[in-house]
Amino acid sequence: MPVQTLEYPKQPFSTVRRYDSRDPPDHQHEPAGQCLLYGPGHAFPQTLPMIGQMGSFDRPSADTGDVLDLYLHGYVSSRIMNLSRKKDDEQKKPTSNEAAPAAAAVEYSQSESTGLPITITASHVDGLVLSLTPNSHSYNYRSATLFGYATPVTDAAEKLWAMEFITNSVVRDRWRHTRVPPNGAEMQSTSLLRVKIVAGSAKIRSGFPSDDKADTGDEGLLDRVWTGVVPIHTVLGEPTPSTYNRVDPAPGYLSDYVKGTNTYAAETALEQTTKAMGPKSKTDG
């Protein structure tokens, strides 16, 4: 099956992040990416759905061609926040007796190995791939995995920046149309993680089905079986006002965003339908 696999650091990071550059932050609505971590004492990897965005506090104008951090938004009480806080505290103690960070962390540069090692995944399905034989059926999809070290954001300016950044990723330009800035209690109760990415990979399948010659040469089969792709995309529906909403109709920045996002999503699914795959593991950027 023609699946394209990209791996960082074997290939330029911008290539690995093709997934991101194709789905600009404000069009990415698979935000409940899964964050995985080794839970101490668990037989199974632990996982949490979280909201995340790639960005840089130090260089806010950086784009997906640059090395970015991943900002994750969660709740103070949640396990991942507690674990990363604990891990960060442990590693900051110069006299700590605690065990060293997970053994394999030394694969990566020491300066980056502070924090909790986590894996972040996001995937998006672009189409149903219907071929002549059941075995060649597939999905068009783009799936990305990042590996990195998570630490809580403690600097107030960085926290405020990340809150604005993430809010505007829900709906473009939403932040300044809400009650801002957050008050002290809100700043306190909101936890954010910054993940320093040390490795990543992507798997992508696009294009039409690929059947064996023995089957595409079978006239009877070709006359009988429909083959092709059913493109799949995500649609934002009609904004539905809450019981206490008084702003009617929905504001322009919101309806523009809904329209733009839907157009982009439909076009991308069609593009992925007709886009031929490169040879396996070949980069295209």
The encoded tokens of residue 174 equal 């939403």
Continuous segment of H or E residues that includes residue 260 = helix 252-274
Cβ-based neighbour number of residue 260 at 10 Å: 14
Q: Is 131 in the site for a second copy (CB under 8 A)?
A: yes
Q: Contact with a second copy (CB under 8 A): which of 11, 153, 273, 277?
A: 273
Nearer to a second copy, 48 or 62 (CB): 48
Question: Scanning residues 231 to 260, which ones bind a second copy (CB under 8 A)?
Answer: 231-247, 250-251, 254, 258
C-alpha span between 258 and 235 (Å, rounded): 8
Query: Which residue in the set 89, 98, 155, 186 belongs to the binding site for a second copy (CB under 8 A)?
Result: 186
Query: What DSSP character marks residue 277?
Result: P
| 102 touches a second copy by CB under 8 A | yes
Q: For residues 22 and 104, is the Cβ–Cβ distance under 8 A?
A: no
Please tell me whether residue 196 binds a second copy under the rule CB under 8 A. no
Report the Cα 24 to chain-centroid distance in Å: 11
Is the peptide bond prior to 9 cis by the omega test (within 30 degrees of 0)? yes
Footprint on residues 67-86 left by a second copy (CB under 8 A): 75
Which of 14, 15, 82, 133 touches a second copy by CB under 8 A?
Answer: 133
User: Least CB distance from residue 190 to a second copy, whole Å?
Assistant: 6
Whichever of 95 and 276 has its CB closer to a second copy, that residue is 276
Per-residue CA distances from 268 to 126, 131, 187, 231, 235 (Å):
8, 21, 37, 9, 12
Stretch that binds a second copy, among 8-16, 56-64, 86-94, 173-181 (CB under 8 A): 173-181
Residue 31: CB minimum distance to a second copy, A: 6
Shortest distance, position 98 Cβ to a second copy, whole Å: 16
With contacts defined by CB under 8 A, how many residues of the chain interact with a second copy? 104
Q: Is residue 215 packed enough to be buried (19+ CB in 10 Å), middle (13-18) or exposed (0-12)? A: middle
